[in-house]
Chain A
Amino acid sequence: ETGVTQSPTHLIKTRGQQVTLRCSSQSGHNTVSWYQQALGQGPQFIFQYYREEENGRGNFPPRFSGLQFPNYSSELNVNALELDDSALYLCASRDQRGSTDTQYFGPGTRLTVL
Chain B
Amino acid sequence: GENVEQHPSTLSVQEGDSAVIKCTYSDSASNYFPWYKQELGKGPQLIIDIRSNVGEKKDQRIAVTLNKTAKHFSLHITETQPEDSAVYFCAALGTGNQFYFGTGTSLTVIP
Contact = CB atoms under 8 A, between A and B. Distances in A.
Interface of A: 2, 4, 6, 33, 35, 40-45, 48, 55-56, 58, 90, 101-108
> What 4 pairs across the A-B complex have the smallest Cβ distances?
A42-B101, A105-B43, A107-B43, A105-B44
Contacts of B89: 42-43
A41 B97 CA distance: 21
Contact of B99 (A40, A55, A103, A106): A103
A22 B58 CA distance: 35
Given A42-B6, A42-B89, A56-B98, 18 more contacts: A2-B43, A33-B98, A41-B104, A42-B102, A43-B44, A43-B99, A44-B101, A45-B98, A45-B99, A45-B100, A48-B98, A56-B97, A90-B43, A102-B46, A103-B46, A103-B99, A105-B45, A107-B41
B46 A42 contact: no
How many B residues are at the interface, by size bracket?
Answer: 20 to 34
A103 B34 contact: yes
Of the listed residues B6, B96, B98, the one surrounded by the most CB atoms of chain A closer than 10 A to its CB is B98
A66 to B, nearest CB: 14
A2 B103 CA distance: 22
Nearest to A6: B43
Interface string B39-55: 00111111001000000
Contacts of A40: 104
